[in-house]
Structures are given as structure tokens and as C-alpha cells.
Amino acid sequence: MNILLAGGAGYIGSHTAVELLKAGHGVVIVDNYGNSSPEVIHRLEKLTGKNIPAYCADVRDEKAVSEILATHPIDCVIHFAGLKAVGESVRKPLEYYDNNINTTLTLLKCMKKAGVRNIVFSSSATVYGEENPIPYVETMKKGSCSNPYGWTKSMMEQILEDAAVADPELSVVLLRYFNPIGAHESGLIGEDPLGGPNNLMPYVAQVAVGRRDHLTIFGNDYPTPDGTCRRDYIHVVDLAVGHVKAVEFAASRKGTEVFNLGTGNPYSVLDIVAAFERNSGVSIRYEFGPRRAGDLPEFWANADKARRVLGWEASRDLDAMCRDTWNWQRNNPEGYRAPRG
Ligand code: NAD
Ligand code: UD1
């Protein structure tokens, strides 16, 4: 199949491009490089030995997206193109609603015009909200979100679901990611947060490489085994393989289906620090700070449905997640801004 990756130059999209090509699919990328770099495309071509058609465009631009769909025979779209910084979404809600909702609407309109029937969407475990018991199961009702970013995910799920009800030809797969970390084992691609990391693993990696002085752990008084929050961290390459399965599944049926992509195993912030130290040989300076607004004490996935229906499960352990993150970070201390020779 030929897959259009909207936001495909980003962290998860770039790793998915590699796994799709490896599985024999073709990929086309559209990205405005708002949170990524054209250097990603060069790295992908080097890594896969394939020529990757890539367009610099805003996915809200109907004309640009229609032209891409008219140029390439696309079987499925994967929609990664979103703004994702939770704190920023609280400060700039309109920007988040505009970008995230309108990219979705534009993609759906252009797909309909071009006769593209399948879409896979990057959703988040955040849609379960704080009301649901853990582990989260796909059959649970969605909860209330603590920030505009989360609400955009919840709304986009609803928009896609409604579109599939109205159009019996449409196939929608909603993927609820847990906490993706790690990098491709080549060290050529990885997570490169522009303007400072908000998430735990890139922060730890930047402390290790000397770009940050120390990590602040947000709270050590949670009702968890060591007092720090627990999350379901998943290797980004496992997540990428999950997308290959999701695309193939999307093409085999109609309607909407939701899948958790997680491992089902929670780790605490202190577990992550210890695992990173063990796998990098670098010690991570940290101090405890106050809780971060909106953080839940712990959550993880029930990963049974993806195993049962997609035949997918995560296979890379926490050591691999830390080893690959460190391999990427130490080879690219400034991310994509300082290309390797
Ligand atoms: P990312 O920022 O690295 O990738 C998103 C890409 O989309 C970037 O390259 C960005 O430039 C592009 N983009 C954004 N808006 C665009 C627009 N209007 N037009 C064209 N390109 C646009 O983020 P990621 O970590 O790869 O996440 C991918 C998707 O998965 C996002 O939708 C994110 O919300 C979702 N998600 C991520 C996580 C995570 O922890 N990384 C967790 C849950 C869900
Ligand atoms: C966050 C978002 C979530 C989003 C996901 C991916 C919040 C409340 N949730 O998830 O909606 O889908 O990112 O973008 O922001 N931590 C520290 N110090 C740090 C950074 C993080 O102690 O400098 C802790 C956090 O308190 C948390 C854990 O590490 O307990 C993981 O944090 P993070 O990587 O930001 O992911 P989530 O908060 O789970």
C-alpha cells in the first residue's frame, strides 16, 4: 500500500516511515516542519536506502493536500500532524484547536474528494481522563481532559467517528498511544524537541548529554510504590510497528476501531532514571519538585485488544528504550541541527 504520513517528519511519524518501508509499503510525507526538520527526510533516505517523496506544506491547506493526493495514489492516511505540548496548549488554546481540529477536517475533506478510504489517527491515553480505573480498556467511556491538548484529541476522535458513521466507505483506526520513548537503533533518527523538552525521557537524555543541569522530578508524594508517578512507556519502534498493523487492519474493514498501544507495564520516574543510568553509564542529577498540574499518579494500558485483533504486541524492554535513546542523544547532542557527516 501507499501511505500518506501527515506530520511524518516528526518523532513518531519518522519511525513509522521506516517500519512501513521495511514491511514493503510506500510512503509519502507532508509536514510543515513546525516541530521537526527537513534533515529528517535525509536521515530516513540514508537509513532505508529509499527515495521518499516529501512535501513542505500545512495540512490545513486544502489545495496543497489535494494536490499531493492527486499526484500519488494513496491507500491510507496516517494523521500525526498535531501540536502536542500540554502546557503550551493551556496558554494557546485557540492555536491548538485550530491546528489539531482543522488538520483533521482538511484531511477528511481531501480524502473524500480523492477517494481515499482509510485513516489511522494518533490519539492519546489522555482521552481516558481521570475518571477511569486503571488499566485503561478501549471499552471505557472517555473521560474529561485537564487541558486543551487532551480535548483536541478527544474531539478529533469524535469527528473521525462521526465521519465514519456518515460515510460507510470510510475506515477509521484510532490509536491511543501511552508514553512513547526511545529511538531507532541506528541512532540516525530520534526525538528532537524544539524549544526544550516537556516530557520525561528527552529531558533525562539532555541532562545526560550536558544540555541541562538536572532533572526536576514532579512530585514524590504520590500514592505509588516509590512516591513518583508511574506510566506505560513504550519503545517508539514498537509503536511504529503497531502502525503497520493498524494500516493493514484499516484496509481490511470499514467503520471505527480503537486500540491502545502500550505495553501494560508501568514504570515510575525513579525507575526511568535508574534504567537510564544503568544503560548509559552516566549519572543523572535530579531533585524533587512540586507536582505538575494535571498529572495523574499512574496509568497504563490493557494491551489485550491490539494483541488479539492486530496481532501486535510491544517486544522491546525498558533497557532497550534507554539504550536507544542514549545512542541517539549522544550521537546527536543538538538533535537534527548539527547533521552528522
Ligand atoms: P511531533 O511534533 O514530533 O510530530 C508531529 C509532526 O507534525 C511535526 O513534524 C510537525 O511539524 C507536524 N505538524 C504539526 N502541525 C502541522 C500542520 N498543521 N501541518 C503540517 N505538519 C504539521 O510529535 P510526535 O511525538 O511524533 O506525535 C505525533 C502525533 O502523536 C501527534 O498528533 C501527537 O499529539 C500524538 N501523540 C504523541 C505522543 C507522544 O508522547 N509523543 C503521545 C500521544 C499522542
Ligand atoms: C504527557 C501529557 C499527555 C501527552 C503525553 C505525550 C501531561 C499532564 N500529560 O504525558 O497528555 O499525551 O505527555 O506528549 O502533561 N516528569 C518529571 N520531570 C520532567 C518531566 C516529566 O518528573 O521534567 C514526570 C511527570 O510528572 C510524569 C512522568 O514524568 O509523571 C512522565 O511525564 P511525560 O513524559 O511528560 O508524560 P505524561 O505526563 O504521562
Q: Determine how β-strand 215-218 pairs with β-strand 118-124.
A: unpaired
Ligand 2 atom index nearest CA of 218: 22
CA distance 38 to 21: 19
Q: What one-character DSSP code corresponds to residue 75?
A: S
Check: CB of residue 256 under 8 Å from CB of residue 160.
Answer: yes
Q: Where are the beta strands (DSSP E) in 197-264?
A: 215-218, 230-231, 233-235, 255-261
CA distance 171 to 311: 19
Q: What is the pLDDT of residues 71-111, one digit of tens each?
A: 999 999 999 999 999 999 999 999 999 999 999 999 999 99
CA distance 12 to 45: 16
233 is catalytic: no
Cell numbers 508517578 correspond to: 229
Pocket test for ligand 1, best of 4, 5, 11 (most atoms within 8 A of CB): 11
C-alpha pair distances (Å), 318 with each of 116, 295, 323, 341: 38, 22, 9, 30
Question: Using CA positions, which residue lies closest to atom 20 of ligand 2?
Answer: 200
Model pLDDT, residue 341:
41
CA distance 144 to 159: 17
- Strand arrangement, sheet containing 171-177: 54-56, 26-31, 2-6, 76-79, 118-124, 171-177, 255-261
9 lines ligand 1 (CB under 6 A): yes
Question: Using CA positions, which residue lies closest to atom 30 of ligand 2?
Answer: 229
Would you say how long the chain is, in residues?
341
11 lines ligand 1 (CB under 6 A): yes
Point out the residues of the chain with pLDDT beneath 70: 339-341
122 lines ligand 1 (CB under 6 A): yes
The C-alpha cell at 170 is 470510510
Ligand 2 atom index nearest CA of 124: 12
Q: Is-above-0.75 flag for pTM?
A: yes
Model pLDDT, residue 337:
86
Q: Which of 149, 233, 267, 336 is catalytic?
A: 149
32 lines ligand 1 (CB under 6 A): yes
The C-alpha cell at 49 is 536506502
| Residue 188, C-beta contacts closer than 8 angstroms, at least 6 positions apart | 43, 46, 47, 340
Q: What b/e readout covers 162-188, taking b as 16+ CB neighbours within 10 angstroms?
A: ebbeeeeebbbbbbbbbbbbbbbeebb
